[in-house]
Structure 1
Amino acid sequence: MPLIVLIAALCGLRVFEVWVFADLSWGYIIALMVFAFVWFEFIEKLLGLDKKKQHKDLDKQRAARVKQAFDKRR
């Protein structure tokens, strides 16, 4: 997510020609966009980072259900 924010900020600074970013090449920004695409589409899946968050969410839901079931018994 920070990568996407960085890309958006660089695009905004480049479009509005702010400070040194006015002379920044669009090639650098596009290269950053390509890197972000490759990261989120291929590398993240290859490393299993996309599933890790889903597993954490499922574990939290499971723990909440167990706690709720034990609280109802009492």
Structure 2
Amino acid sequence: MYFLILGIILLLLKYLEIGPVAAWSWVTVLAPFGLAALWWAWADWSGYTKRKAMEKEGLKKERRLQKSRDALGQTARRRR
């Protein structure tokens, strides 16, 4: 995501001819888009995306269970 945002910023700076980016070649300006594509390809290939999605689902499930336990009054009590 960061590569995509950087690419958009550099693209705007190049198009509007602002600062030193105006003198850069188009290959340099468009490079973050290529890096973003490589990152997404690697993330899908390595299972990183799926692992993060499973972690998020697990966290949502745990919060939902804790909310249900709290509503039923089944929270763990501290020993005295």
* Alpha-carbon distance in structure 1 between the residues aligned to 2:16 and 2:72: 62
Superposition misfits of 4+ residues, deviation over 6 angstroms: none
Question: C-alpha offsets along residues 22-59 of structure 1, whole Å, 9 cap, x if unaligned?
Answer: 1111111233322211221x211122221122112111
* Alpha-carbon distance in structure 2 between the residues aligned to 1:65 and 1:21: 49
Alignment coverage as a number of residue pairs: 73
Aligned-pair identity (%)? 22
Q: How does 1:43-58 map to 2 (within 5 A)?
A: 43-58=42-57
Q: How does 1:1-74 map to 2 (within 5 A)?
A: 1-40=1-40, 42-74=41-73
Note the aligned Cα RMSD (angstroms). 1.5
Stretches of structure 2 that go unaligned for 5 or more consecutive residues are: 74-80
Paired amino acid for 1:8: I
Paired amino acid for 1:63: E
Q: Structure 1 or 2: larger helix share? A: 1
Stretches of structure 1 that go unaligned for 5 or more consecutive residues are: none
Please report how far the alpha carbon of residue 72 of structure 1 lies from its aligned counterpart in structure 2 after TM superposition: 3.1
TM-score, scaled to structure 1:
0.81
TM-score, scaled to structure 2:
0.76
